[in-house]
Amino acid sequence: MKKWLLALAVLLGAQTFAMAQALVAPSLWKNQRNSTLDITWAVPPVGGTVFGGTFTNQAQGFECKGIPYGALGHAENEKVAFTVGFLKCATSTTWTGFIRGRKMYTSWSLTYYVNGVAKTLQGKDVFTRIR
């Protein structure tokens, strides 16, 4: 019985470690709209990993397509969040979610301004790690 409990603890610990290590640099993630998150650096401070790189939008119906913009984020265990400021379009988007293996499931919130008033669009993206 003790061996089974020890084996289960090792297995669960390895899965947690694998999820925490899923966001490494370098890595490239692509969502269902063909937009990419290219993580070029990561620093693992206490309490998670700070990471950065570029995000290139390819989503139909949105401006600022095909231009790499700076991305900055934080991952802790399976949780992840990152933000991109699309300066040319005067918008910013924040993704929050979780990582399971080679998939990142996120909700996003895009903020833009109309006549000086902040407006928000929301949606969901699933990113797949492709390298």
- Residues 73, 78: Cα–Cα separation, whole Å: 13
- Render 14-52 in DSSP notation, one character per residue: HHHHHHHTTS-SSEEEEETTS-EEEEEEEE--TTSEEEE
| Domains of the chain listed by start with CATH number | 2-129 (2.40.128.30)
State which H helix or E strand residue 53 sits in. Answer: strand 49-56
At 97-130, the pLDDT tens digits run 999 999 999 999 999 999 999 999 999 999 999 9
At 39-98, the pLDDT tens digits run 999 998 778 999 999 999 999 999 999 999 999 999 999 999 999 999 999 999 999 999
Any idea which of 9-23, 26-40, 68-82 has the lowest mean pLDDT?
9-23
Nearest to 126 by CA among 37, 31, 28, 19: 31
